[in-house]
């Protein structure tokens, strides 16, 4: 497993980041309850296998159910071998508003302390804002508290998790954030327009949703009728993989890793076979220029329609 620099943080991370949501709570297509998940013992074993295979970057959050607790149990005796990234509790209330600045500091500090306790550590390597929208990114108090926590050594770097390209650009323009986690995949490549800007500013980029919640795999077939055009577009990637030893998930992962500005690709791993498949894909051998350009040209023509939360809300992801 090769490693890349996380921007200018001085932190070196594996090209594959282990996404911790699936081991902490029911998440993803076909996962409806704890019965569909690994047991805690099995999850700890899987995390150990990931470390032994060379993955050192593990992503979790306060909002990921039992994920932090499981990672705490897995890594309490090998903390020096892993880079832990966690995210603050959501700061917006039910109406989508931020609480008064006087309450924000306590909320952020309490969330981080809860994470430290669950992870059984005295610091996290990266402390992030979860779902950072424009309102959150404009707030000076939030940025100041995160920066103070970094200066105190409770976290080594700060970051934001964004969805829209406007949010990503705002985080860069405001400054003070060391890394950004954002959605990017062959279907929706809009955020790629900011990769060079991030590189020039020394901001690390970690991408998620490279497999579109599993749709860029065998799961991208027999979709809801509302996603018929999406399904037809996914089938067009067969023209690239035909005659190669790559399947669609491998193509999608290698495509993202072929961007030198990307520090790591976040992959949800909740089965040993998924780990093994990911390790085979992330072997340092990525797309040649011709294949890379073919994949770039096959972005979905209406990327605004690629909205997984909305699809989920409409019950199109069954």
CATH number at residue 210: 3.20.20.100
188 contacts 301 by C-beta, under 8 angstroms: no
Tell me what pLDDT residue 217 has.
Answer: 87
Q: Mean of the per-residue pLDDT values for the chain?
A: 93
Q: Tell me the C-alpha distance between 250 and 247, whole Å.
A: 5
Q: Which residues are registered as beta bridge partners of 207? A: 182, 265
CA distances for 258 relative to 10, 53, 163, 262, 317, angstroms: 22, 21, 21, 8, 29
Tell me what pLDDT residue 91 has.
Answer: 93
Position 218 confidence tier, pLDDT thresholds 50, 70, 90: confident
Determine, yes or no, domain membership for 188: yes
Which DSSP helix (H) or strand (E) runs through 234? helix 228-235
Q: Tell me the C-alpha distance between 155 and 145, whole Å.
A: 12
pLDDT above 70 for 29: no
Using alpha carbons, select from 246, 222, 240 the residue that is nearest to residue 299.
Answer: 240
Strands (E), 243-306: 262-268
Q: Which domain holds residue 136?
A: 3-313
Determine, yes or no, domain membership for 132: yes
Mean of pLDDT values over 214-234 = 91
Q: Which residues are registered as beta bridge partners of 3? A: 14
Tell me what pLDDT residue 301 has.
Answer: 96
**Please, is 272 exposed, middle or buried when counting C-beta atoms within 10 Å of its C-beta (0-12, 13-18, 19+)?**
middle
Determine, yes or no, domain membership for 226: yes
Determine, yes or no, domain membership for 318: no
Q: Tell me the C-alpha distance between 56 and 177, whole Å.
A: 21
pTM of the model: 0.93
Position 38 confidence tier, pLDDT thresholds 50, 70, 90: confident
pLDDT above 80 for 226: yes
Q: How many domains does the chain have?
A: 1
Position 30 confidence tier, pLDDT thresholds 50, 70, 90: low
Strands (E), 25-122: 57-59, 83-87
pLDDT above 80 for 33: no
Show Cβ contacts of residue 57 under 8 Å, excluding neighbours closer than 6 positions.
13, 14, 16, 17, 18, 82, 83, 85, 264
Tokens of 69: 């607790």
Does residue 307 or residue 188 have the better pLDDT?
188
List pLDDT tens digits, range 69-126: 999 999 999 999 999 999 999 999 888 889 999 899 999 999 999 999 999 999 999 9
């Amino acid at each position: 497993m090769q490693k890349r620099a996380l921007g200018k943080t001085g932190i070196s991370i594996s090209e594959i980041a282990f996404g911790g949501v699936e081991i902490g709570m029911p998440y993803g297509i076909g996962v409806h309850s704890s019965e569909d998940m690994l047991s805690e013992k099995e999850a700890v074993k899987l995390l150990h296998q990931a470390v032994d295979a060379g993955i050192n970057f593990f992503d979790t959050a306060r909002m990921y159910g039992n994920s932090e607790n499981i990672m705490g149990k897995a890594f309490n005796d090998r903390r020096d071998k892993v880079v832990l990234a966690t995210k603050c509790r959501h700061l917006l209330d039910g109406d989508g508003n931020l609480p008064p600045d006087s309450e924000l500091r306590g909320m952020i500090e309490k969330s981080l302390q809860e994470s430290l306790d669950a992870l059984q550590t005295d610091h996290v390597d990266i402390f992030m804002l979860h779902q950072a929208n424009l309102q959150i990114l404009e707030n000076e108090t939030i940025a100041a508290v995160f920066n103070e926590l970094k200066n105190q050594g409770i976290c080594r770097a700060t970051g934001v998790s964004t969805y829209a390209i406007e949010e990503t650009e705002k985080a860069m323009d405001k400054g003070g954030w060391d890394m950004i986690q954002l959605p990017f995949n062959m279907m929706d490549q809009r955020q790629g327009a900011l990769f060079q800007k991030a590189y020039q500013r020394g901001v690390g980029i970690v991408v998620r949703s490279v497999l579109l919640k599993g749709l860029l795999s065998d799961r991208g077939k027999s979709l809801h009728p509302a996603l018929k055009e999406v399904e037809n577009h996914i089938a067009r990637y067969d023209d690239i993989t035909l005659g190669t030893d790559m399947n669609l998930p491998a193509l999608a992962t290698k495509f993202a890793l072929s961007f030198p500005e990307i520090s790591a690709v976040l992959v949800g791993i909740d089965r040993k076979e998924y780990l093994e498949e990911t390790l085979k894909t992330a072997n340092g051998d990525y797309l040649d220029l011709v294949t890379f350009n073919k994949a770039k040209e096959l972005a979905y023509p209406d990327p605004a329609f690629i909205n997984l939360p909305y699809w989920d809300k409409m019950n199109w992801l069954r």
